[in-house]
Structure 1
Amino acid sequence: MAGSVQLLCLATNSGVPLYCRSKGESRQLPFSVIGSLNGVHMFGSNQDVLLTSTCTDNTRVCWRVFRDSITLIVMSSEEDASDLYLSRLLDNVFGAMVLVIGLDDLVNLKNVERLKRELRACYKLIDSLLTASDWIGDLTLCVDCIVSPDAAILQEALEVFVAAAQSNFGCLMVMGKVVVATEKWWRLAAQEVVLLTWLVGSLAPNSSRDYPIYLPQGSPTVPHRLLTFQLVPGVDVCLLCGPTPSLQQVQTELVERFWNPVLEPLKTCLSLHQCTFPICIPLHHSIIGLLLINREQNKNLFTLQPHGVESSQLPATVLSPERRRSVLRQFYTLAVSAYFPAEASEDKPAVLLEEFHAGFTHSPTECYVAADDHKSYGIQTRQHQLLLTFTPETPTFTLRNIATKTLNLLTKEVPF
């Protein structure tokens, strides 16, 4: 299951490497290898052939060119690597570069050495996209969320706080997952909201920040200010604003005034970080991983501890958190690539499809996998996708019934 990932960024016209980031036990690639990887793509392009991906026995490689200016190449030997994941990874990496330094410097490559220095500011965010974590929004293109029983109280506090700060864009975040947000925050492009949460989650904890950012789709050339304030350790409130107000003004005049009265609900949110929803919801004991996606609102709930149980308390036969994460990501990739294809639209890239066998004419709404160490079941409705991982002892004939009841329970009990 262990593997490595290498990400290369080059100037398209010159082939000059701008940076190389890696995950796992991977060594710095020699320049000759980098040149060969770029050269084969350029050769294909000169022959009117678009080379997007290839694979060897143990490595998958993907290429993408953005704005005829930046070439990104990713190589992965991880078990759960797929063309879908790697393609979305490259989209997110370029989006991260635009988010942090803006589009102008990426399109107008006048000074390569200066661009290399500027791109260092992107490294923490890019590294977080390469690293397995408690988030899955990089793959689903939906925002990782937490459902709090005090959501109404926190929403009201957020609305008045954001209005007092002369903004319309704000959200409350716990360990990189959104609890509540303003209506206009949710109106941002899905990738922008995902990258903003990953950016905050990837930065070192700080009592407050005033961070210049660009919106990859909404404002790629004009910067905004991202203000963040730590309310309690692990809980941040975020604002998008223009030149005013100042960080100090919001910190001294507004933060304590609006958030001190809801201190206890904030602490309660922190306890929901792993489970993502109140543990009083009675899920079936055989479920060991859960991904619920709201397709209309581009949100998801993702947990490897659906019962709020620590790994040390689980039976020895239950998969490790790392294996559960990999299994759920692989199952999501299989489901949306082969069985639940999304309709291509202006704001959502077309999913990479796998061809069905001849004669397969209907559109499936459910699918399952039965493996040696786990079982998985997925359901798609007009509004939701639910993907579950089960213990291997769970009878296969019961998966559909458990999954259907779980979807009904979550969509009724959880306002999601």
Structure 2
Amino acid sequence: AMNLTDFHDSALLKLDIGGPFVADVVDQQTEEYIVVQISQAEDAGSRRRRQQQVSYNWSLPLSSRRNQQIITTRTFQIPNRGTIFVNIQAFLQESGSVPLSMKHQYLHANIEAQVTIASVILVGVYVLIIFEIVHRTLAAMLGSLAALAALATVGERPSMVEVVEWIDYETLALLFGMMVLVAIFSETGFFDYCAVKAYRFSRGKVWAMITLLCLIAAILSAFLDNVTTMMLFTPVTIRLCEVLNLDPRHVLIAEVIFTNIGGAATAVGDPPNVIIVSKQELRKQGLDFAAFTGHMFVGICLVVLVSFPFLRLLYWNKKLYNKEPSEIVELKHEIYVWRLTAQRINPASREETAVKCLLMQKVLTLEMLLRKKLRTFHRQISQEDKNWETNIQELQKKHRITDTILLIKCLTVLGCVILMFFLNSFVPGIYLDLG
């Protein structure tokens, strides 16, 4: 038992207790444990007749191996400035000693204040990134420095060792390796080749091409970095949209949706998935690469099946083709002006009625001319769709596999990496980090 009397204006008490505790409480049941009781009495000058105590009971199960040391941390909220009593009781099957270590720290901000400070820092980082005030890397570094300064201010300043331990090297190594692999893939012209093949199999049909592009992007994003894959798909997608006279924004948005869907299917497709699978606690529960992929695969297939009809519904009333020529836009504006002028004339006399009739006749003439121009414009679009064979020959000459040997090497390396991911899950003797 110990008394803490130097508790002044702090709102929280943080306790770090080290001892032979059970690491996994779920899997291991034990009858030996210790109870840490935190209580506080009000000041003697309080007007209340009875002293009010606020107690916390913290139970920690003990392991049979007394030589191991596991540090556990918990934070307690203290409502007033009274003396704090810390009482530790051990409940053992047999008489013996339990080696324990305890460190306490006062924090000057409660949980709500800490969450508010963290939210303000996070919003500030996103403001810097969204409005491009500084480079996004510098924005992230400034946010991390602000977070460390906030921790030091509230009394929970971490050591340099703790800061280094927060870095997830496994995730960084996996992302680094995948980005290098994708960059080498791009040197072979593989992504351009896939996009041109999608246009060829679609035979110039717009929605068939969009569907194939989205499927290819989703499959590649499942085993490669989805952000880099999307960046490499963008140039050739814009070129295909120019050939088909499409607005590339809608096609790129559809590809982004499906790259995110495909990236969620495996543990290496998205950085959050890597962080989840790299946790040792989840690995002990059996959540490895194969288990994660198996759980996500069925759900991802259902999401893909639902996303295609939703995509068609999303673009139901939107024109996928590019904007109309400037002469058609100007003609529509001229018709609007003449019609608005005619509507504002009040036929109170014979002259005003004649003027209004002339204006309406002008509007009808311009509308006939507009219909002819629109018919010609749509005929040109349909003619471009019919000339897909000529377009595909030009695209195949420009976007083809530039280095076949390098592509074979990349596919071999990628196949070995994916095979090792699954062997790591099914073969007990093989244990490799994802990075």
TM-score (structure 2 length as normaliser): 0.19
- What TM-score do you get using the length of structure 1 for normalisation? 0.20
| Greater share of residues in strand | 1
Larger C-alpha radius of gyration, 1 or 2?
2
